[in-house]
Amino acid sequence: MKIIDLTQTLSEKTPVAPVKTCFTRIVQARYEHMYRIDDINLCTGIGTHMDAPLHFDPNGCAIDEIPLEKCHGDACVLHLKDKVGDNIDYGVSAEDVLAFEKEHGKVPKGSHFLVHTGWDRFWDTDKFCPTNAEGGCNFPGILEDAAKLLFERGVTSVGIDSMGIDQGINPKFPAHVVFLKNNILLTENLANLEKVPPTGAKIWMFPLKIEGAPEAPIRAVAIL
């Protein structure tokens, strides 16, 4: 059994979208009484994290109410790194999903669909999610037609290695809406998807159990 860490490291340098709060830390005990203790402040949707339906739906399920059975299972990985290239505004289309299916068969009901754009290689750079003139930021994401197709396939979750499921340039979040209003879990800022084959891997991604939270950090892993 091989475990691949799909998680970015949380630190003061972790990139965040303009609307979100950065990670900060206070080291409040430094071995004066034998131990070190750190306090941290963060947005629950920072770094590699999961969105619960509550993130976009006031009546949706919160992160601590998600059944653990929905947080692991078979992974499909759509490898688009070469096609995305350096196109920061790339939109993953239904056509991209259909091309995956042509090669690997229909996306199975209940599976976890992960999009490898290759954007995680920019994590530590200004290219990961640069702010733009409209006050937003840019990064690749999933188009509405692809979101609707994945909903039709009955996937349990959808993940991506960029800052967000929707393209940064789209302020209407159509993919978030399609997924979260239909109880499909989302994971963002995944890492190392390059190392996961298109089919055959399992994913484990149990969110931090924060009462009534719309999002939570996860330690996501793939198992080969």
Q: Which residues of this chain interact with its own copies, rule CB under 8 A?
A: 3, 5, 7-11, 19-21, 25, 28-29, 31, 33-45, 47-48, 54-56, 58, 64, 68-69, 72, 172-173, 176-177, 204, 206-215, 217-219, 221
Please state, in angstroms and rounded to a whole number, the distance separating the CA atoms of residues 3 and 179.
28
45 versus 168: smaller Cβ distance to its own copies: 45
104 versus 206: smaller Cβ distance to its own copies: 206
Please state, in angstroms and rounded to a whole number, the distance separating the CA atoms of residues 114 and 85.
17
80 versus 205: smaller Cβ distance to its own copies: 205
58 versus 103: smaller Cβ distance to its own copies: 58
Minimal distance in Å, beta carbon 102 to its own copies?
32
Minimal distance in Å, beta carbon 199 to its own copies?
20
Minimal distance in Å, beta carbon 215 to its own copies?
7
CB 83 within 8 A of CB 93: no
Please state, in angstroms and rounded to a whole number, the distance separating the CA atoms of residues 205 and 222.
9
Please state, in angstroms and rounded to a whole number, the distance separating the CA atoms of residues 179 and 177.
5
Structure-derived torsion over alpha carbons of residues 108, 166, 215, 129, reported in degrees to the nearest 10: 130
Residue bearing tokens 């709060």: 21
